[in-house]
Structure 1
Amino acid sequence: MSIDFEFDRAVRLMAFKWLDSQKAIHGDVLPREILERGFVFNGSNVPIVGPQGIFKPRIIKSIPLSITTIPGGPLTMISGMVHPSFITDTGEKTPIIMKM
């Protein structure tokens, strides 16, 4: 099975556009429920985070989309470029990091 890296890249770019739109609505701290709900891409739901740990939505075939550490842990990642949004459901600011 071959991996369509351009498709995966398009999903990741849409994830950042979606995060920017959510930040405009909710501010720097996004509720976890919103990240779990995610966005729709080509008719498929794409959650940003999963229940725990390393997470790759079904639609993505290559590198995981996010890595979540414990609350108060060192970071929450969206696959290695610093994005100005923060994820937390405890009120602490944890940076989202991205590698394209």
Structure 2
Amino acid sequence: MRAFKRLLSNVGIVAVAATVGFAGVFGLSGDEPFAGQAFSTLAGECNIKGNISIGSGERIYHVPGQRYYAETKIRPEYGERWFCSEAEARQAGWRRSRV
């Protein structure tokens, strides 16, 4: 268990590095509130999927139980991410999926 906690801590450190100056390495702009997100996602706390539409570039989030939730894949290299609440997703400029 101690090794697992250390791994999660290291992931958080990498996420902070991505946020404060090494963001290009991870395909991020550096504006994303990413640091706490990596830990929370790995711990299973954040289950809202922030997806970017290929056709329109629109930022759409999906919550568990919605039609396309299970098949939606999150690809951080394209700016997609996980959210811990709908309020967090809306505040970041994403809209809820209509289906």
TM-score normalised to the size of structure 1? 0.31
Higher Cα Rg: structure 1 or 2? 2
Bigger share in strand = 1
TM-score normalised to the size of structure 2? 0.31
